[in-house]
Amino acid sequence: MQRIAAILLSISTLLFVACGGGGDGEAKKTRFIAIGTGGVTGVYYPTGGAIAKIINRNTRRHGLKATTEATGGSVFNINAVLSGDLDFGIAQSDRQYQVYNGLAEWKGNPQPRIRSVFSLHSESVTLIASDPSDIWTPADMKGKRIAIGNPGSGHRGNALDALWASGISLDDIIPEDLKPAECAGMLQDGRIDAYFYTVGHPNGSIKEAVAGTTPVHFVPIVNIDTLLKKNPYYTYAEIDIGHYQGVSNQENVPTFGVKATLVTSSDVPEEVVYTLTREVFANFDDFVNLHPALSGLKKEHLLEGQTAPLHPGAERFYREAGLME
């Protein structure tokens, strides 16, 4: 419905401009673009909103108007971009790699039209458990009720990889297919013992879990070396417990992680991708101040973690800006 509304609004705007609306005559015809994000408690949702806010500041000058959609996450966004239902989507770098190479959900069906635009914040694979669950190592999850993520989300695939690295199968646990927004309350109520969430920190859902009356803690992921050898798109990561006052851990927690990335399709026009990329870079200081997870982001980081080819529009900007030879 959001997409349909955007199209109707776009048509009315084009008619307005064609009929001489816009005052000084300098307004360009407006093209609406849709950006897929994630659940409202995660970092993708405000990150997509930050991109849209930057774009929409100067719609009159460059002709783009961005809308954002809350979605199921990486897999949904990638498939929606490829089908043309979204113009852009935020997705984990591992999912970008898998769709381009025909792995995981796209096994045997590579999608060469997927394109990278830029990378965003780092995301840590986070396993948070209640103290009463007595889960202090991944091996302790056996027989326990564990939320592994909703279908179509990147963190579900990461959870399965973390289980594999720990020598645990789905048969060893009671898996729950839950969205992150549901997990904090269920952990506090004792309806689940732990949940996985791949996310940039600090995060609202985890803060909610930590702030409850039931004490909680982060569980370190084991055998990360083995996991990284098998999956080149993963990196070492660490959860800074300083973000979460009241968590039971006394030290930062080792885990692995990915990059959040903005993806598009080769079907999206070069000028559209060029303009979006240019606007984010031109307003970079404002952009990184729009959410705490973006605060450590530097311009050079936006070219890291790209596991599919760059879109020509993004590449054109990077060459003009001297960021690529």
- Cβ-contact 220, 255 below 8 angstroms: yes
- Top mean-pLDDT range of 22-26, 277-281, 285-289: 277-281
Measured CA to CA in angstroms, residue 182 lies from 7, 157, 265 at distances of 32, 18, 31
Tell me what the mean pLDDT of segment 150-178 comes to: 91
Q: Which residue has the higher pLDDT, 21 or 215?
A: 215
> Minimum mean pLDDT among 125-139, 199-213, 272-286: which range?
199-213
Which pLDDT score is estimated for 16? 40
Please report the pLDDT score of residue 155 as a whole number: 83
DSSP secondary structure code for residue 116 in this structure: E
Q: What is the pLDDT of residue 173?
A: 98
Judge whether residue 242 has pLDDT over 90.
yes
The pLDDT value recorded for residue 14 is 44
Q: How many CA atoms lie within 13 A of 325 on its CB side?
A: 0
pLDDT higher than threshold 50 for residue 143: yes
Rounded average pLDDT over 260-285: 96
φ, ψ at 254 (rounded to 5°)? -75, 140
Sorted by sequence, the CB contacts under 8 Å of residue 89 that are 6+ apart come out as 35, 36, 37, 71, 74, 76, 77, 78, 80, 81, 262, 263, 264
117 pLDDT higher than 70: yes
Stronger pLDDT, 294 or 213, i.e. the higher one: 213
Give per-residue pLDDT as tens, 166-178: 999 999 999 999 9
Distance CA 23, CA 20 (A): 8
Average pLDDT, integer, range 80-95? 96
Domains observed in the chain: 2-121+260-320 (3.40.190.10), 123-258 (3.40.190.10)
Which 8-state DSSP code applies to residue 158?
Answer: H
Please choose, from the candidates 53, 92, 52, the residue with its C-alpha nearest in 3D space to the C-alpha of residue 72.
Answer: 92
Q: Is 16 or 241 the better-scoring residue by pLDDT? A: 241
Residue 284 pLDDT exceeds 70? yes
Q: Which of 6-10, 84-88, 195-199 has the lowest mean pLDDT?
A: 6-10
Q: Which amino acid is at 142?
A: K
What is the share, in percent, of the chain residues with pLDDT greater than 70? 91
Please name the residues in contact with 120: beta carbons below 8 A apart, sequence gap of 6 or more. 47, 90, 259, 260, 261, 262, 294, 297, 302
> Can you give the pLDDT at residue 3?
54
Largest CA distance in the chain: 68
Axis crossing angle, helix 93-101 with helix 74-83, rounded to the nearest 10: 50
Question: Encoding tokens for residue 250?
Answer: 């006394």
What is the Rg, in whole angstroms, of the alpha carbon atoms belonging to the chain?
A: 21
Cα–Cα distance for residue pair 283/55, rounded to 1 Å:
9
Identify the residue with better confidence: 201 or 164. 164
Which residue is listed with tokens 């009356």?
Answer: 213
Query: What distance in Å separates the CA atoms of residue 124 and residue 220, rounded to the nearest whole number?
Result: 11
Partnered with residue 146 across adjacent β-strands are 175, 194
Range with the poorest average pLDDT among 3-7, 70-74, 113-117: 3-7
Read off the pLDDT of residues 10-65 as tens digits, 9 standing for 90 and up: 444 444 444 444 444 456 789 999 999 998 877 899 999 999 999 999 999 999 99
Residue the block writes with tokens 């968590």: 247
E strands, 60-100, in order? 64-69, 88-92
The pLDDT tens digits of the residues spanning 196-210 come to 999 888 888 899 999
How high is the pLDDT of residue 24?
Answer: 40
The CA distances from residue 167 to 139, 142, 150, 154, 294, in Å, are: 8, 10, 22, 20, 34
pLDDT higher than 60, residue 262: yes
pLDDT of amino acid 27: 60
